[in-house]
Amino acid sequence: MNQTDADLAVAQEKRLMDLEVKAAYADDLLDQLNRTVFRQQQQIESLARELLALRQQLAAGSAPGPGGGADERPPHY
């Protein structure tokens, strides 16, 4: 093996190592994004349940209406 072949082998090894590092970073980023999407989906489902409960309360008439709790004067007035 002459010097040119040795230089080529070193360059290929370095290139392969760089690609492996990039692949590892990409895998890590993908895992982070998957965890983020999972947490966001949990939050969306929780908010959807809350919204449904609020709609049911409103339909049942248990939410304060006009002149109700939100419009009342606080006791210190």
Q: Are 53 and 47 in contact (CB under 8 A)?
A: no
Residue 29 belongs to a domain: yes
Residue 36 belongs to a domain: yes
**Predicted pLDDT at 73:** 75
DSSP letter (8 states) at residue 74: P
CB within 8 Å of 9: residues ≥ 6 apart? 1
Domain encompassing residue 36 = 23-58
Place 68 in a pLDDT band, splitting at 50, 70 and 90.
Answer: low
The pTM of the whole model exceeds 0.85: no
Residue 54 belongs to a domain: yes
Residue 46 belongs to a domain: yes
Domain tally for the chain?
A: 1
Residue 37 belongs to a domain: yes
Residue 16 belongs to a domain: no
Residue 63 burial (CB count, 10 A): 13
List the Cα angle 31/36/41 in 5-degree steps. 125
More confident position, 7 or 72: 7
Residue 7 belongs to a domain: no
Residue 18 belongs to a domain: no
Q: Give the model confidence (pLDDT) of 45-60 as tens digits.
A: 999 999 999 999 999 9
